[in-house]
Structure 1
Amino acid sequence: MSDPADALGGRLPLADPAALTAEQRALFDRMIARIVPWADEAGFASTAKDGRLIGPFNPALLNPAVTASILDLSVAERTHTSLSQRVREVVILTVGAVWRADYELYAHLALARTAGLSEQAARLIATGKDSNDLRESEKIAQRLTTALSTAHRVDDALYRQAEIAFGAQGLADIAYLIGIYHAVCAVLTLFSIPAPGQAPHS
């Protein structure tokens, strides 16, 4: 009988910590030490009950050298961004909505709540809809992220609104954040990785 936790890997089996290479084990330990407490605090699962990594953290073990650099980039983005936590989560949920990436939306709905977004607003963003329960700058960030993520263009009017709201550095920070989460969502979608409690897509 198969382990139900295996479904959490989508198209990939969940990596057995006992079978990892030295490089994979070092990355696994880093994620256990840093990502798991962050996820636990926000209220989403990053491991199966037996301690194996789920979500994007399981395929991250396939290439430890690249993943370690991506983790460094993610830490730098969070540490040095000019964006508020609320705006960051609006951007991330908007990217997740474009990709319909179940695990990303599951995790960042929890993180959006900790950032102070209302449940209703976060869920509307996660389904690609507008919410009146957002600050004006957050609405602009959602429109900007949608334009870049779908049309891959930003018209002059939206650009001017976003530049006034965030400044040039803020616009660059939004672009970097979008890029990071397009990579995350591409991995999740490629391997059909579900959120806990959801069946993988066929």
Structure 2
Amino acid sequence: MGGPDRLPLPSTLTADQRAAVEKIESGPRGALFGPFVPLLRSPHLMTRLQLVGEHLRFDAAIAPHLTELVILIVARRWGQDFEWGHHAPLARAAGLGDDVIAAIRDGADITGPDDVRAVWRLVDELENTRALSDSTFASALGTVGDTGVVEVIATVGYYTTLAMVMNAARTPVPHDYERLP
């Protein structure tokens, strides 16, 4: 999947692109980077999409360590080194255990505290079977509530979109980022 960046930052920006850059720079991310560079080709889509991500990362009903768990699971499934390298340190800072991070990285069995296992199982089952059993749904519901279940699912969809965009664009990964095996 290597090769040159297919969608680098354009050398000149349209007025709509400049407005989209200003919007992202004025938000909690503070800069245009990673998936937002190729998404800038569609500035209105990028702005709307990044606002969804802003909610899921910074204002979600689920605990930050669970948000980061979901992001790492998606990054691993898509072989997305940018997302992995960006979010593994954030996951650690949010309290996700190194044992859980290593298990995701290595494709090992679901592990961790009850809340982590319930959310991981939801993501795993939904991605593998395209549905949820009653027991998995009930466990996740009891762990994160109905708003949390919806936000976990939306986080999977959002980060899957970013992974697909970056994989197709061959978005470069900073040299100091931790990478997947």
Same fold, TM exceeding 0.5? yes
Match of 2:6 in 1: 11
How far is the alpha carbon of 1:91 from its aligned partner? 0.9
Cα 1:22–1:71 change in 2 (3 A) is same
More helix by percentage: 1
How far is the alpha carbon of 1:131 from its aligned partner? 5.9
Tell me, in whole angstroms, the C-alpha distance in 2 between the residues paired with 1:167 and 1:69: 26
Decide whether the 8 Å contact of 2:8 with 2:38 is kept in 1. Answer: no
Aligned residues: 175
The AA in structure 1 aligned to 2:8 is P
String of CA shifts for 1:68-87, please: whole Å, max 9, x gaps. 11122222334542200011
Gaps of 5+ in 2: none
Identify the structure with bigger relative contact order (alpha carbons < 8 Å, sequence gap 6+): 2
Decide whether the 8 Å contact of 1:101 with 1:189 is kept in 2. Answer: yes
How far is the alpha carbon of 1:194 from its aligned partner? 3.7
String of CA shifts for 1:99-125, please: whole Å, max 9, x gaps. 111111111112112212233422332
Match of 2:132 in 1: 154
Q: TM-score, normalised by structure 2?
A: 0.83
Gaps of 5+ in 1: 1-6, 38-45, 47-52
Match of 1:21 in 2: 14
Q: Alpha carbon RMSD of aligned pairs, Å? A: 2.5
Tell me, in whole angstroms, the C-alpha distance in 2 between the residues paired with 1:113 and 1:167: 24
2:40 pairs with one of 40, 58, 61: 61
Q: TM-score, normalised by structure 1?
A: 0.75
Decide whether the 8 Å contact of 2:24 with 2:50 is kept in 1. Answer: no
How far is the alpha carbon of 1:143 from its aligned partner? 1.5
